[in-house]
Structure 1
Amino acid sequence: MAYIDSASTSRSARIASLIVMSFRAQWFFFVIPALYLLTNWLMLSRLPKHGTAPVHLVLLDLLSFALPVGLIVMLVLRLGYFVLVLKPESPIKALGSDIVNLVTRPKLIINALPVFAAMVFFNKAMIELKPAIPAINPFSWDVAFMEWDRALHFGVDPWVILQPVLGYDYVTFAINMAYNFWFVALFSAWFWFGFQKQAGELRTRFFLSYMLAWWIGGGLLAVAFSSAGPVYYDELGLSPDPYVGLFAYLNDADTRIPLWFLDTQQMLWDGYIGKIPALGISAMPSMHNASAVLFALAFAHVSKKLGWFFAAYAVMILLGSVHLGWHYAIDGYAGILIAAFSWWAAGVASRWISGLALTRRYNEGLASL
């Protein structure tokens, strides 16, 4: 009995030691959230009053919604990976073995703790800034982006070019579905790369590029180039509105087939004008597009099939962001460039991090657990 107690104490001590080492070895995940919060403070401190997102509420949201949804999505994606890529004799048994290992061999959880702790502070920064963007810098770039869109597309509004191909009820509905799938793709990426056996270079590169893209694009550039997007062109009092025809089609299609993104667009505007709590409106750059490109770049290193799937999905998001009136085409192009830069910069950083002695010792410790 004493031997069992001693063994149990020894294992618990190793786990506790690895948790501490996990945070020490993955300190870099906290750098961008800290910079994001700092730049937020510099911008928000000029406002007479601004909302804050308490850390405990952000954590509660992560635990009560994002964590369970993300785990389900991760398991479904893992099952698909078994079926399409690894092809074991029984994909269900292989998935069951994964679940058992997650519970009985806590290395995946130990490895995930720092990145998800960092994401709590990162999400806090995003939640606090986005509703305040028009207060920091009122929407003033919509006309310029509309004109740039026309200049880049031979004098024609991009939605007009897409309409003969995408302007059918069921095509629009499918694009609506794909656009909402973005949240599933996001959770898939978070939990797929978060719950890994090692603090590997690809995992580090994905999270650093994701955070960097959102800090630069969804934070700094969103404030500098404050714009609302085509859907709100008329609401901003801008005239003439070149998107009347697009929304005439979308609202007409909604009478035949449900397009719930229209309700979301109205809800965001109601928040902006103060009817309900503001969630935030920001068009430039398109972070849906930036994130979709990062998914494609990251999952291409997992398998070619997943890479091609997410590449096709990124194209769908680019087309959908214009067809559904969320973004100017130039918003999407900017998002793609931000994703490419962030992926490159994170690649440089992740290669350096992977070579650190502390990272190697930590991975060796995980492997021995």
Structure 2
Amino acid sequence: MLVFAGIGVARSVQVGIPFRDPGGDFLARRIVITAGVFAALVVVDGLLRTPRPWTRTAVAATIRTRWPARRLALAASALLAYLLTYFVYHNLKSWDVLNAPRDAMLLRWDRRLFAGHSPAILLHELLGTHVAAWVLMVWYETFPSLVVVGFPAAVALARRTLDAYAGIAALVWVWILGTATYYAIPSLGPFHEAPQEFAGLPHMPIQDTQARYLAQRDHLLAHPHAADAFAQVSAFASLHVGVTATLLGLAWWHCLRRTTIALAVFLAGTMVATVYLGWHFAVDIPAGLAIAAAAWWLGPRTVGVRRPAATPAAQSSSSAATTRFSRSLRRSA
């Protein structure tokens, strides 16, 4: 995180624009929201770990036992590292619009992959442009809420502090690697490069957001030193896909089978929605998945762990199997 912040400072000096947090949306307010979500998850975790019937005293005792001062400090440092990375990411993403976009190249790649066809139009023809458009819009817009809950959950619900650090490290890496791809191939998205392909969709808040992002970009290019100049548009790679896939890896790491399945379904819908709505080119999708895979390779190794701890159920099963094997050996002897 510190190295990434240093890169952000160097880029800030290069472009002559200071770090900004418009409306506190990317740091100040997120610190408050994260603290609230984390506290709520700690209470939920305490309830789950306390035998019923629950009493306030019993739940409080469970929470105090699980969260001594040292563990709280480690949790706070992990969450702060994530939030600072996210803040630097957004500023670097804003300054990326100063680079020339390469959307025409990405559009050509899409055409070659789909034999001269537009993947967005193929999806429109397959799914229709009425009910599916609204469903996929809601699906796509669920992503911010998932992230707001997902990364505090990586810390609050982890069995070991080391598992919490592995998850946060993977999430930190996905933002860092995503920023690198933004600068490797600057782009705005197919809604800007080929707007005619999305003219058949009903008017939804998505189009208003896309127009606002382009207006932000224009404002930053025209008045880069204005206090409110801040852009939020970049396409390659899809971090909606990359971050969702990283959260999917988090569920797998913690052996949460049902959550893993649910997130796999959500990831599949997100991949469809992001192309259908014009936010990303089809080639942005595998790039996002590759970033998630790299983040999960790097994350655990960054904190010195190669595999998750066994779940209590798995530990019990392993212990029982060992006991049965020992008994079998004694009988054979």
TM over 0.5: yes
Q: Match for residue 300 of structure 1?
A: 252
Report the Cα distance in structure 1 between the residues aligned to 2:153 and 2:168, rounded to whole angstroms: 11
Q: Which residue of the other structure, out of 132, 135, 138, is the alignment partner of 2:100?
A: 138
Q: What displacement does 1:283 show?
A: 0.4
Q: Match for residue 149 of structure 1?
A: 110
Report the Cα distance in structure 1 between the residues aligned to 2:45 and 2:134, rounded to whole angstroms: 28
Report the Cα distance in structure 1 between the residues aligned to 2:282 and 2:125, rounded to whole angstroms: 17
Deviations 1:140-179 (A, max 9, x none): x101100101111222111122113332422221211111
Q: Match for residue 282 of structure 1?
A: 234
Aligned pair in 2 of structure 1 residues 71, 265: CA closer, same or farther (>3 Å)?
Answer: farther
Report the Cα distance in structure 2 between the residues aligned to 1:172 and 1:69, rounded to whole angstroms: 31
Deviations 1:201-260 (A, max 9, x none): 43222211111121121x222112100001111xxxxxxx4x4132x122xx23xxxx22
Q: Match for residue 244 of structure 1?
A: 196
Overall identity of the aligned pairs, in %: 18
Q: What displacement does 1:60 show?
A: 2.8
Aligned pair in 2 of structure 1 residues 97, 158: CA closer, same or farther (>3 Å)?
Answer: farther
Alignment pair present for 1:204 and 2:149: no
Q: Match for residue 175 of structure 2?
A: 214
Q: What displacement does 1:122 show?
A: 1.4
Q: What displacement does 1:284 show?
A: 0.5
Alignment pair present for 1:262 and 2:215: no
Deviations 1:87-122 (A, max 9, x none): x878xx599976774478643633421112213421
Report the Cα distance in structure 2 between the residues aligned to 1:331 and 1:120, rounded to whole angstroms: 25
Query: 8 Å contact 1:109–1:195 — kept in the other structure?
Result: no
Q: Match for residue 160 of structure 1?
A: 121
Q: Match for residue 8 of structure 1?
A: none
Aligned pair in 2 of structure 1 residues 133, 76: CA closer, same or farther (>3 Å)?
Answer: farther
Over aligned residues, Cα RMSD in angstroms?
3.2
Unaligned runs of 5+ in 2: 221-227, 309-333
Report the Cα distance in structure 2 between the residues aligned to 1:197 and 1:287, rounded to whole angstroms: 24
Q: Match for residue 195 of structure 1?
A: 156
User: TM-score normalized by structure 2?
Assistant: 0.77
Q: Match for residue 278 of structure 2?
A: 325
Report the Cα distance in structure 2 between the residues aligned to 1:96 and 1:249, rounded to whole angstroms: 59
Q: Match for residue 19 of structure 2?
A: 52
Report the Cα distance in structure 2 between the residues aligned to 1:328 and 1:95, rounded to whole angstroms: 52
Unaligned runs of 5+ in 1: 1-32, 234-240, 356-369
Query: 8 Å contact 2:45–2:156 — kept in the other structure?
Result: no
Which structure 2 residues correspond to residues 10-21 of structure 1 after superposition, within 5 A? none
Q: What displacement does 1:262 show?
A: 1.7
Q: What displacement does 1:314 show?
A: 0.8
Aligned pair in 2 of structure 1 residues 296, 196: CA closer, same or farther (>3 Å)?
Answer: closer
Aligned pair in 2 of structure 1 residues 161, 354: CA closer, same or farther (>3 Å)?
Answer: closer
Q: Match for residue 273 of structure 1?
A: 218
Alignment pair present for 1:182 and 2:161: no
Aligned pair in 2 of structure 1 residues 347, 173: CA closer, same or farther (>3 Å)?
Answer: same
Query: 8 Å contact 2:300–2:306 — kept in the other structure?
Result: no
User: TM-score normalized by structure 1?
Assistant: 0.70
Report the Cα distance in structure 2 between the residues aligned to 1:310 and 1:96, rounded to whole angstroms: 35
Q: What displacement does 1:125 show?
A: 0.9
Report the Cα distance in structure 2 between the residues aligned to 1:209 and 1:121, rounded to whole angstroms: 15
Query: 8 Å contact 1:293–1:336 — kept in the other structure?
Result: yes
Report the Cα distance in structure 1 between the residues aligned to 2:131 and 2:164, rounded to whole angstroms: 37
Give the residue type in structure 1 aligned to 2:272. Answer: L
Q: Match for residue 318 of structure 2?
A: none
Report the Cα distance in structure 1 between the residues aligned to 2:156 and 2:57, rounded to whole angstroms: 16
Q: What displacement does 1:268 show?
A: 0.9
Alignment pair present for 1:127 and 2:90: yes
Q: Which residue of the other structure, out of 45, 57, 63, is the alignment partner of 2:31?
A: 63
State the aligned residue count. 294
**Where in structure 1 do 4 or more consecutive aligned residues deviate above 6 Å?**
75-79, 94-97
Give the residue type in structure 2 aligned to 1:313. Answer: F
Give the residue type in structure 1 aligned to 2:212. Answer: M
Report the Cα distance in structure 2 between the residues aligned to 1:160 and 1:89, rounded to whole angstroms: 54
Aligned pair in 2 of structure 1 residues 245, 121: CA closer, same or farther (>3 Å)?
Answer: closer
Alignment pair present for 1:337 and 2:300: no
Q: What displacement does 1:124 show?
A: 2.8
